[in-house]
Amino acid sequence: EWVPRLGLSWLGSAGYTLFANVGQSFRPNAGSDVNGTAFDPESGRALEAGAKGEQRDGGFGATLTAFQIDKRNVLTGDPGNAGFSIAAGEVRSRGVEFDASGRIGEHWRLNAAWVQLDAEVTRDNVLEVGSALINVPRRNGSLLAVHERSLGRSLIG
């Protein structure tokens, strides 16, 4: 299957970059319907645009990205045959992601990330259009502190 992708970046100065990407996806769906027919594959389109900034010395950097992902042929419940599925659902995820990393001392580095996400059903035989996707958080974040020390001298030779 052909899955094209296109990305553009503009280096505004030595410290920041603007970018945009568009791409398609393809993933075979496992299993078969009530008649034993293999499911049509899931396909999708992703759009992304954002900005990235970084200090010249690499001490601090951050990225802000807005995105939208649309998927088709997502497996959904078969309304005429309980316990079986059909590849007919459509879902959309859109949101904003921010991540930053930098040194906060001689031996410490900090990484932080935050995502605000709206993932919803846009077409389905069972689920209500506009309903949120199950097990997809609306907000997600992480914070990681890393302590780095050198050994000071080689252990070899």
Q: How many domains does the chain have?
A: 1
Query: Could you tell me if residue 113 is inside a domain?
Result: no
pLDDT in tens, 69-93: 999 988 887 778 888 888 878 999 9
pLDDT above 70: percentage of residues in the chain: 95
144 in a domain, yes or no? no
Those residues with Cβ within 8 angstroms of residue 149's Cβ, 6 or more apart along the chain or in another chain: 107
Per-residue pLDDT reduced to its tens digit, 35-56: 988 988 999 999 999 999 998 7
DSSP string of the chain? ----EEEEEEE-SSSEEEEEEEEEEEEPPPSB-TTSPBPPPEEEEEEEEEEEEE-TTSSEEEEEEEEEEEEEEEEEE-TTSTT-EEEEEEEEEEEEEEEEEEE-SSSEEEEEEEEEEEEEEEE-SSSPTTPBPTT--SEEEEEEEEE----SS-S--
For residue 157, being part of any structural domain is answered with: no
**Residue 63 belongs to domain spanning:** 5-94+118-139
Residue 112 falls inside a structural domain: no
